[in-house]
Structure 1
Amino acid sequence: MDHENPPGCCGGPSAPPQAGLSRRTLLRGAALATGALTVGGVVGLPVMAHAAPAIYNPFAGYPITGTWEEHLSSGSLGGIDFGMGVGTNLPACGAGTIQNIPNNGTGGHTVTIHHADGYRSQYMHLSQFLLSDGTAVAAGTVVGRSGGAVGAPGSGSSTGPHLHWHMINPSGVRINPLTYVGQNPGGGLPKTTTEQDGIPGPICYKRMQNWLRITSGYTGPIDGVPGVNTYAALQRAMRGYGYTGPIDGVPGVNTWKAVQRLASGWGYTGPVDGVMGPNSWRGFARFLNQDQWD
């Protein structure tokens, strides 16, 4: 358990008034058009609505060692702790830009991901920063490595290896990221239509990458564009389905035979021949469409 505290438009010239319209009428119309409030004849600031950015839980495969309630009861402003070894890759929970805060008080080395519409996510007690300030990242991009070992550089007040994660809303208040994800299900990955049409596409591959991130050491972005790292992780995962070839990230017949064996548990009834057709992909997609890979 840890006890973190927080860290720390220009326009062109105005058009001339239109004939027959008073200045008061023009101001009132502008206020209504922009959503501004008028109090006692004074135009106030516009009322801003904040959209919810797409966020997912990158740490679903790790045990929670400190709940939100436990943080609050210990005097922290809130957070979720996930038990993981020092040096674990930390994927971004959503798209945004990076801000690194070294030695952020009790939180130690902290990465802040600035999402859309004023939301932020913070990862604390890092052992290593990986990206420069201002770097734009997609969901799933590795932004740092976990730490938390007692007394180690960047650990802050941590009493053991783990990651602390909390979000901050546009008002500057900490919020529970797991509650946020639960209330904004659009933050998870959508289900792939490959289960119906047998044609793999970006969503299918994103779900594959997220499954491999959780289970098989994939550390690249969740971008739906599989490359050597994605396929190397797939080959590692297929060890459990009879694949005995090299982990070289170049899938061949034996890799795909193992995928078909996996798919046979999800409705695929065709031959195990290493030729991925629509029926093979449908079975594989049924596996990938499980909620746990959202």
Structure 2
Amino acid sequence: MLRILHSLPRTHKLLLLPVATMVTVLGTQKLLTTYQDLNQPHTSLESVLVPLPSDGVTAVPSLRQERAPVAEAIDRASRALDATREQIPLSDLAATEIIDLDVISRAEASISSEIDAKPVLDEGAIHMAVVFGTVSSGMLNIDEPSADASVEIADATSYEDYGIELFDDISFLEMELAAEEPYVPEWKTHIVASGETFAAIAQDELGMGYSEVMALLDDMSDPRILTNWRAGNSFDYQLDENGRLLSLRMMKNIRDGVMLERDTDSFAVTAIEREGEPVQRLFAGTVSGSFARSAQATGLSSGSVTELTRVLEKKLDFRRDSRRGDRFNVLVESDMIDGEELDARVLAVHYEGERMDLTIVRNATDSKFYTPEGSGLEPGFARYPFEGSYRLSSSFNPRRKHPVTGRISPHNGTDFAMPIGTPVVAPADGRVERVANHAAAGRYVVIRHDNGYRTRYLHLSRPLVSVGERVTMGERIALSGNTGRSTGPHLHYEVIVNNSPVNAMTVELPDSTGLTGDTLIAFQSQAEPMLAALESGETGTVNVANYQAGERD
């Protein structure tokens, strides 16, 4: 390429200057010398090469192009000068679009030895190259008709990778555009490392002062969410353009969290409560061994098994009533959030066994369980364990003193004077826990009731039930008497709550939990599709809304 350059007239060398500058560094010294020669007083510029026509291609300008007057060339060069005042980074130009780079490989290798170091180009030479490169590549549009209207400028384009660093500054236009863009805060995530505290992170990364951190913690109803965290916890935050905290979001769990948002010089604290989509699933199993293990084998969570056991034991004594082969279906509802099931709750249960056949449904109004007929699992509790009216002969008195010794001798029950053989009845549903004889208590009976209370009956003449037997409210369980250490015929009656004796005459007793009237009608309407889902036996995810009257729509 340099040989060609040496053989051309000076004006043609000038026209090749921009192309050679864009392509290779090897000929920089020669090109610079050529440019300086052209600026000598004795140098005459009689003609210049016109730009490429519209159908031309980007390459070395042809030497056979027709020539044009100097005035027109100067006019074009002036417009090119105006068009190139804004410097174009060389990284935006592609050498492959300027010239076939195979030209470089054909240059004599010996020329490279003439260049010891990267030359520094004269600023005039640099700008001249840009001007002529603009014209020859067709990047200058002609807005005004020229003297030669037949000459057209090719469509403009852009280039990358000149191969030589012409400018080292950045575009002022880009800086102006960036300055005009509004600041948009981005959400970032911080994962708590071992030993990190919120106070330290707030000051080091969130642009908060110590007093601001303390004021924030004082404003929070539960500051432990920010102070009692563990390694691996994370929170999301936004900073303003000055690096100060704008907002912070931290979740205690997948459902609950807190949002902090800057409000002038303080932070507004808002609780986050995510609501999940309810999903119902039906589980079915058979008792084999313990009921709890059999229930867990169906896939029920430990929490659901605990709730199921607690509900059923109000009617079912698992140790005595459950038998191998008993079957059960359980309908459970959970909240689905981000693919995770949370807060599982039992909706309905059907237990079919040798000694117990029970179906119960949760009532959405009070969250208690009832049979399909509206009977509750916690029946009412009668105040007196007998029919009729009998005189209270000795009241409940845990501080009673013995009449002879003077020592504290508690009376943990209530005595009713009554003839021997008076029927004693169960005050509530339950199961007989003990039937025995004692030197002081005489013959006695202990019953554990469905609500967790226990009752004891002392000085009986004859028990009418046996251990393990199920009794219902109002059923006869014994006959009163005068056995044991007693001063006369009477019934000693005790009520025990949480393993402590209480006054049977004043203790708060549960009322009947059965549903009636409109409440019962509403419950049965709500229970209908759940009962149908239970009866279907279709285990897995179900849509309760699709079940009506025992059949699927």
Does TM, normalized by the shorter one, top 0.5? Answer: no
> Relative CO higher for 1 or 2, CA cutoff 8 Å, sep ≥ 6?
1
**Bigger helix fraction:** 1
Larger Rg: 2
